């Protein structure tokens, strides 16, 4: 660095020092008057109880502030803070209305040697609305977990209701009063006090609400329990022309509660018998559970829904070979066939046909009209015995050889 640059730097430093010395002299020795605007000084509302007496509430209550224009010696101005000022607005001193109200403020205290230039025109704007009340039933949203094989028997809340007070816009938003909190691994009866929270229809907390109580007592009663399968019981048959194509239960397993000695012997729960003959296609019926004495259901009202799928049964056919008996043959003739067999075709549902054999079919050939020897084709008559939902659709011919005796 050359000498000329060193000289320039020294001059700059000297100028800076002289400026600081001059500022200190003016501020501390000359101490001239100075103006300054201090923003956002809090305003305290007094006599707010008068709003309640007049059935008013502040809309979306927020902190109120004013801006002050100050004048004073520089040394004093430099020291002022918001905390040095106490400013109040008396809510009982003026006639109020629903909507926007301008409330003058009073400066109770402020630093000495400071002048407030805008003291005579200070005020805050306060929006008021109707003060209303609403009673709500308290519900529990306390998150509770239980130890294995321990189940909730019931919950009780005391008191059951809470009364809220506030501005109409806030009170109208509240849809639920809920208890909040958490309990883990509960294994015995328990009770405790929980905070009450007020929420809207979207689950958001609503503020600016006062309530007659802040907490409520939640009592949790527990019992032993286990999960067992459900056995559907039925009686009768599905209506004629239909077959059961399956069923669905709303619950294949249920949680049962009760004494541990009874629970240990319980492996499943039967339903009351469903009358299958009364079912319609795609029927859904409420079915009660047959609960042993001393046993209750932990997750329902003691019944389940059963949905039955019925489908229309289509007819099919079945061929059965049957021995043919003959009758009314004249005494002068005889049949030389060792045996007579006819193929009988049956129609009916598959379920009904599966039950039919040759034992259920009587096949008779009437030979009363035979007048001469020869071989003839005849169609015998087939009759069903003890056969439901089955008909004879065709009977095959038989070939009969006739000869005279002697």
Backbone phi and psi for residue 330, each to the nearest 5 degrees, phi listed first: -60, 150
Tell me, yes or no, whether 139 and 214 share the same domain: yes
Domains of the chain: total: 5
Shared domain check, 351 and 308 = no
**340 and 262 both lie in a single domain:** no
Mean pLDDT by 10 residues, the chain (406 residues): 62 68 53 88 94 91 92 91 95 92 94 90 93 96 92 92 95 96 92 95 93 96 91 89 86 90 90 91 90 85 90 87 94 91 91 90 94 93 90 94 88
In this structure, the answer to whether residues 248 and 291 fall within a common structural domain is yes
What pLDDT is recorded for position 75? 87
Counts of helices then strands in the chain (DSSP H, E)? 6, 32
Among candidate residues 253, 287, 312, the one where a domain is terminated? 312
The answer to whether residue 265 is domain-embedded is yes
Residue 9 has φ and ψ, to the nearest 5°, of -65, -40
Of 274, 285, 278, the C-alpha closest to 238 is: 278
Closest of 67, 80, 1, 3 to residue 34, by C-alpha: 80
For residue 167, give the nearest of 58, 53, 51 by alpha carbon. 58
In a domain, 227, yes or no: no
DSSP letter at 26 equals I
Q: Answer yes or no: are the C-beta atoms of 224 and 266 closer than 8 Å.
A: no
Taking the C-alpha atoms of residue 393 and residue 332, their distance in angstroms, rounded to an integer, is: 35
Residue 120 lies in a domain: yes
Q: Are residues 63 and 92 in the same domain?
A: yes
- The sign of the dihedral angle between the CA atoms of 89, 94, 100, 103 is negative
Is the domain of 41 the same as that of 123?
A: yes
Tell whether 153 is covered by a domain.
yes
What does 267-280 look like in DSSP terms, one character per residue?
--EEBPPEEGGG--
Q: What's the helix, strand, coil split of the chain in %, to 5? A: 15, 55, 30
Per-residue model confidence (pLDDT) at position 373: 92
């Amino acid at each position: 660095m050359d000498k000329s640059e060193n000289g320039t730097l020294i001059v700059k430093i000297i100028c800076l020092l002289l400026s600081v010395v001059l500022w200190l002299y003016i501020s501390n020795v000359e101490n001239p008057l100075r103006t300054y605007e201090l923003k956002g000084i809090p305003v305290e509302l007094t006599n707010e109880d008068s709003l309640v007496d007049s059935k008013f509430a502040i809309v979306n209550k927020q902190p109120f502030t004013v801006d002050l224009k100050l004048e004073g010696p520089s040394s004093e101005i430099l020291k002022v803070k918001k905390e040095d000022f106490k400013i109040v607005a008396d809510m009982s001193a003026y006639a109020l209305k629903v909507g926007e109200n301008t409330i003058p403020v009073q400066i109770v205290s402020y630093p000495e040697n400071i002048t407030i230039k805008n003291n005579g025109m200070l005020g805050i704007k306060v929006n008021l609305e109707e003060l209303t009340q609403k009673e709500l039933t308290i519900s529990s949203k306390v998150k509770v977990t239980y130890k294995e094989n321990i189940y909730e028997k019931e919950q009780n809340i005391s008191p059951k209701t809470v009364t809220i007070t506030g501005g109409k816009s806030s009170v109208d938003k509240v849809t639920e009063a809920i208890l909040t909190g958490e309990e883990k691994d509960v294994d015995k009866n328990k009770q405790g006090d929980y905070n009450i929270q007020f929420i809207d229809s979207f689950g958001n907390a609503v503020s600016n609400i006062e309530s007659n109580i802040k907490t409520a007592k939640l009592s949790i009663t527990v019992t032993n329990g286990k999960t067992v399968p459900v056995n559907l019981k039925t009686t009768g048959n599905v209506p004629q022309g239909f077959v059961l194509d399956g069923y669905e239960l709303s619950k294949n397993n249920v949680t049962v509660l009760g004494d541990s000695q009874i629970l240990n012997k319980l492996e499943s729960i039967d339903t009351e018998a469903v009358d299958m003959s009364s079912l319609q296609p795609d029927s859904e019926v409420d079915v009660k559970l047959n609960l042993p004495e001393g046993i209750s259901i932990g997750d329902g009202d003691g019944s389940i829904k059963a949905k039955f799928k019925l489908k229309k049964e289509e007819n099919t056919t079945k061929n059965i070979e049957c021995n043919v008996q003959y009758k009314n043959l004249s005494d002068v003739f005889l049949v030389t066939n060792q045996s007579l067999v006819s193929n009988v075709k049956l129609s009916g549902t598959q379920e009904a046909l599966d039950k039919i054999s040759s034992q259920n079919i009587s096949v008779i050939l009437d030979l009363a009209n035979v007048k001469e020897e020869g071989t003839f084709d005849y169609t015998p008559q087939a009759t069903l015995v003890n056969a439901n939902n089955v008909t004879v659709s065709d009977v095959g011919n038989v070939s009969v050889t006739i000869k005279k005796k002697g």
